[in-house]
Structure 1
Amino acid sequence: MKKSALSLAIIAALSLGSANAATVIKIASLSPLSGGQSDLGTQIKNGAQLAVNEYKAQFAKLGFDLQLVGYDDQADPATGTAAARKIAADRSILAVVGTLNSGVAIPSSEALKAARVAMVSPANTANQVTDRGLANMNRIVARDDAQGPAGANFIQGTLKAKKVYVLNDKTAYGEGLAKEVEKALKAKGVAVAANEGTEEKSDFSSIIAKIKLQNPDAIYFGGIYNQVGVFVKQLREAGINTPVVGGDGLDSSELATIAGAGANNIYFTTVAAPIEALPAAKTFAANYQKAFGKPAQGFGAFGYDAAKVVLQGVLKAVQTNKNKLPTRTQVETAIRKGSFTGLLSGNVSFNSVGDRKAATLYVMNVTGGKYKLSTSVAVKPAKQ
């Protein structure tokens, strides 16, 4: 009898614990956490983690245990798509913060489409990311057709270049950005000596030889910091001090480290504001340093903002569902149609295809390995 009573007591206690257990709600981050682009990808994940930490108590009051799950896409479309399928299979994941690379975002969002898992990107700029009209794909940064002309305006207006050599890294991101720059330069009467694609990562001697022959006033490279940093290092070692301009793929402190003594006369447009350009980011930067032992960068701040959009969207969906666990479809709708406040980069709302209705681009200069804000410009997507 005593044994039976004890057993019943244990069962009752377990049942009570189950009844009181919080329902788990997960959001996922999807970005490169290993490989050559892990510096930016880790910033995105860490920024998202800080947002989750801030919102945990608010979710707990509603009976939910909020968690972040980080997935490593290795900046590779196939790896990212495989991770997206795992995300879709985990029904406790209601939305995704990511990705870094447009070439990963495009197939990953397709893989998540049928499961109605919303994505909010802190980084993707390729036009095709949102031009496909997917209900689950959103971004809080400007598009290539805004970033490309901004880069071209800087090259023609500030650098006064009359001839430009254009390179791209043969990815959806790099090719798309270089195409927009080339189009905008030609519209301004600037000669484009070439628009050459390269997947080279270690020996740029043949490209540098061609650049020497062309003697351009500026070089534009649509690519990522780990590749462009090596190119710049070798370019300077070859005695060429021509300005090198790029997009937000150069927005990493690792660019100067890789370029070494050659980290001079480099400019890049970026969709992720430098921390010092965000008045509201002082507390975030301090929290980031304390949590992760390193300084926050622009993509950390935008990972944080993208996660806050997701979390506010989930909370709205909870409210719509009478404080019960919402469906993925409810979250998807709440994110696309919502207005989001309290973000480091300003208020966010999306147009019908998931583009941010108003964004800002920044132009950074790297000289002596130091990063300095040159200018900023407000932009809107071509399609509203």
Structure 2
Amino acid sequence: MKKRYVGVLSAVLAASMALTGCAGNSNSSGGSNASGGQSQPAPGNSGGGTTEGGLIKIATQSPLSGSNSAVGDAIKTGAGYALEKRKEEFKALGFDLQLFPQDDQGDPKIGVSNAEMLISDPDVYGVVGHYNTGVAIPSSVKYEEGKLVMVSPANTGVKLTEEGKKTVHRICARDDAQGPKAALYAKNTLGVKTAYIIHDKTAYGQGLSDQVKLQFEKDGVQILGFEGITQGEKDYSAVLNQVTVKNPDIIFFGGLYPEGGILIKQAREKGFKGYFMGGDGLDSSDMIKIAGDAVEGVVFTSVAGDVTQTEEGKKWAEEYKKATSKPLETYSVYGFDSMNVILNGVLEAVKANGGKKPTREQVLDAVHKTKDFQGQFTKVTFDEKGDNTNADVFIYKYDKDKSIFVGKAE
């Protein structure tokens, strides 16, 4: 993605959301003005099905506070922009669209609590989320109970779509695609022969690192270490002292940018001269703020591509920035496309229901049947598991003040 700076939510979008009753609360309950006190709809008729017109809420779940809020807010803003652009379309059919953003804080317990609230609200018809796979997996159990469709713009953990849940979908690639392609790029393009792998012990970070390790071993790259660190710590000398002694060609980090930024900064301070690489967890403008000058040369794979690589995409990016008063983050586009996948499903379900408010099951069925939908960036066709058969992996490299799109990973 291009210069990924984090700003405040646009006055235009925020005002519009306020007028339509949107709740962007960041408390642990996920929005105190939600209709969370209502009982859960009966499974056979969840979310309406008999009334003409009415309220339709689409939720987002992402970290809107805490260390991962930069990307979390980008997902929310992109989804909100998509919804705003389609309000008139739904209004003409008698429906009031509302964005219902929830702050999962990157915490599984809060994500689950929010999910319980969402499935209890019969006006909620879908969820765009999450950012953290470790939050998405337990939350998806609740979505399955409530027959509430989820479309993720960012979750790459393999396990998410391997548990047989009908409600779970994602438009991005999985780690069993991202990990091998990262390892192949490191070996074939960077020419590494030895590697030290560090992960953050999360479902995402360790899962991605496991995939990288398998590919490195298959290709004959020697693994000099495979260690876990604790999220939130500020001093990683213990593991980095081992790295400097073994002096690998590359450090691969499976984790997110708050820890990734600290790791590369401290590694350089200790004299490490080799490559530093990570996955899509390093895909944030905050990586630059945290790592400082040490960010230069950091390579990462991402499951999110750069929309500005085409003229049409550049035009859309300018329109997006004007509407939201903030620069484009890569996952803003994926939030945008994920929301449109859900809204297309709602629209199809309304038509199938004779113009009346559909059930959640009808929306779920329509979303699951998504085929060859061309979003602003992504093309989406879901397989039986809910994975996007068109998902790709991309390579980026940081210079001192921005990330540079290198190309599609092969």
- How far has the Cα of 1:288 moved from its partner? 2.7
Verify the 8 A CA contact 1:167 1:196 in the aligned structure 2. Answer: yes
Matched-pair contact (CA < 8 Å) for 1:50–1:304: yes
Contact 2:52 2:355 in 1 (8 A): no
CA RMSD of aligned residues (A): 1.5
Between the aligned partners of 1:184 and 1:97, the Cα distance in structure 2 is 31
Cα distance per residue 1:119-139 (max 9 Å; x no partner): 000000000010112100000
Tell me by how many angstroms 1:235 deviates.
Answer: 1.2
Amino acid at match of 1:181: V
**SS of structure 2 residue aligned to 1:114:** helix
**One of 330, 349, 353 as aligned partner of 1:317:** 349
Bigger proportion of residues as helix: 1
Q: Equivalent of 2:118, from 81, 87, 91?
A: 87
Equivalent residue number for residue 26 of structure 2: none
Secondary structure at the residue paired with 1:107?
helix
**Distance in 2 separating the partners of 1:287 and 1:89:** 36
User: Take 1:346 and 1:162, find their aligned partners in 2: how far apart are those partners?
Assistant: 34
Distance 1:341 1:25 in 2: 22
1:316-335 map, 5 Å: 316-335=348-367
Q: Distance in 2 between matches of 1:124 and 1:278?
A: 25
Do the aligned partners of 2:247 and 2:272 also contact (CA within 8 Å) in 1? Answer: no
2:170 maps to which of 135, 139, 145: 139
Shift, 1:188, TM fit: 0.2
Query: Equivalent of 2:205, from 174, 194, 207?
Result: 174
1:340 CA drift (Å): 5.3
Find out whether 1:246 has 2:282 as its counterpart: no
The one-letter amino acid of 1:320's match is A
Match of 2:328 in 1: 296
Change (3 A) 1:278 1:174: farther
Q: Which shifted more, 232-241 or 298-307?
A: 232-241
Counterpart for residue 157 of structure 1: 188
Shift of 1:22: 5.1
Name which of structure 1's ranges 208-217 and 364-373 shifts more when overlaid on structure 2.
Answer: 364-373
Q: Which residue of 1 aligns with 2:399?
A: 367
Name the structure 1 match of 2:301. 269
**RCO higher in 1 or 2 (8 Å CA, sep ≥ 6)?**
2
The structure number with the bigger radius of gyration is 1
User: One-letter code of the match for 2:395?
Assistant: V
Q: Which of 69, 73, 81 is equivalent to 2:100?
A: 69
Change in Cα spacing, 1:273 to 1:338, as seen in structure 2 (3 Å) is: same
Deviation at 1:285, TM superposition (A): 1.7
**Larger displacement relative to structure 2 (365-374 or 154-163):** 365-374
The runs of 5 or more residues in structure 2 that have no matched partner are 1-50
User: What is residue 260 of structure 1 aligned with on the other side?
Assistant: 292
2:337/2:378 contact within 8 Å kept: no
Q: Find the residue that maps to 1:230 and give its secondary structure.
A: helix
User: 1:168, 1:104 → 2: CA distance?
Assistant: 17
Q: Match for residue 349 of structure 1?
A: 381
The 3-state SS of whatever aligns with 1:339 is coil
How far 1:112 moved relative to its partner?
Answer: 1.2
Give the one of 82, 87, 106 matched to 2:137: 106
Q: Tell me, what secondary structure is at the counterpart of 2:71?
A: helix
Structure 1 residue 94 displacement after superposition: 0.3
With 340-349 and 54-63 compared, the bigger mean Cα shift is at: 340-349
Distance 1:128 1:157, change over 3 A: same
Q: Quote the residue 1:226 is aligned against.
A: 258
Amino acid at match of 2:263: F
Alignment gaps of 5+ in structure 1 = 1-19, 379-384
What is the CA–CA distance in structure 2 between the aligned matches of 1:60 and 1:347, rounded to whole Å? 27
Mapped to 1, the partners of 2:369 and 2:163 lie a distance apart of: 18
Question: TM-score of the superposition, structure 1-length normalised?
Answer: 0.91
Identity across matched positions, percent: 40
Which residue type is aligned with residue 195 of structure 2? V
1:367 deviates by: 2.2
- Whether the 8 Å contact between 2:244 and 2:271 is mirrored in structure 1 is no
Q: Find the aligned partners of 1:217 and 1:242 in 2 and give their Cα distance.
A: 5
Residue 125 of structure 1: SS of its match in structure 2?
Answer: coil
